[in-house]
Structure 1
Amino acid sequence: MANIFEDPKKASRKTQLFEAGIHALENDGWQVEKIPGFGKGSVRKITKGSQERIVSIRTTQDQWIAFPRNDAGDAWVTLSDVDAVVAVSVDDKENPRFAQVHLIEGDEMRARFDRAYQARIKAGHSVPKKRRGIWISLYDEEASSPVSRVGAGAGIAHKPIARIPLAEPGLPAEQEKKEAGHAGTDLRPLSISDAKKSLSMFLGVPEESIEIIIRS
């Protein structure tokens, strides 16, 4: 799928989509919290009354989402650990105007990814290893052929809990807001641990999958 970090606007929009997911949950009555000591940046604890759930917030700008298999190949990284998935997608791949936020049960998403994984193996496809993702489409109807359609359609089966307008990345007003937010702040030394945590949150990947190499 597309590498969003080749385009600064897409990188900015990823942050917007993630924040839209949190905003939608809060508007739906959930309290959203980071989990102390939990290295997976996309994962949050959400609480509403007596309900407490662990969710993974996944963003997409091409309307496909991915989870990788673990190193042993017997479970899904992150997906196997959560109660639900918050899938946040643009409404249109070419001209996105809204973030569409879907709340999907973890068991259903695991079943969809299991079907997709097994179908690709059965079809003789080379499946990604070493924490590279298997991708499924949110908005295509699920079908047995082509094999890429197996597991698809979660965004069709579960209507959005929210549609949130997207700002255009790079507009002067947005840039001004960013600059105002950073006004008066001083640069400070950043440890490797802090850098990994920040990258984990921004990229939505586990800290342990990030390697930082320093050359002098």
Structure 2
Amino acid sequence: MKSIDKIIILLFIISVTFVNAQFRENNALYTSGELNLGNYIGVDINLNYIYKENYSFKIGYTGNIRKPKSQPEDYSSGLTGVLLFGAANPYDQLENYQIGVGKIYKLNPRGTIRANISLGLGYTIIKEPENWIRINNGFLAENYTWNYNRYSTFSVILNPKIEFPFSRFYGLTLSPLFQINKDRTYIGIGVGQMIGLLRKRK
């Protein structure tokens, strides 16, 4: 290999290392996932970006379910439903695809506790069972037939999150979540974890 080739390769490696170090110094990029509990239960999954430990951006998905508000009092999933642990049961479903921007506030000098106050918009899909008709299926199967009514709307999302990036690559979260639209509102709190590049080296 010629000397000039060696120099070019060396300069390339140094440049990549420098750019990578600069990225880590000014940016954080990580995934987060929470289990939600409120007037629905479900999960919240996000890809998060933080710039200079001051501003945040996220894209994500929230999926929540609850016992149907329209469900007849004498509804039974039958023995089959019990054996499937309710997996085939009807549920009110609230799905949300969201983007959000926020501001970071350090709550301690080391940056291992911070508030990520995020406001965003979401495309919300609502599915709810309706047209319940009682049938005689014995004790093995459901005693009602039904079908889903599906519609969509837009939501405003407020998600003030307390983050605990204990290390540069792993942390925990505690996150109140409010999804507000003209049809349904979700109010709850999530507990979860963060994995990725969370903060600068201290």
Normalization by structure 2: what TM-score? 0.29
Q: Which has the higher strand share?
A: 2
Q: Which has the higher helix share?
A: 1
Decide which structure has the larger Cα Rg and report it.
2
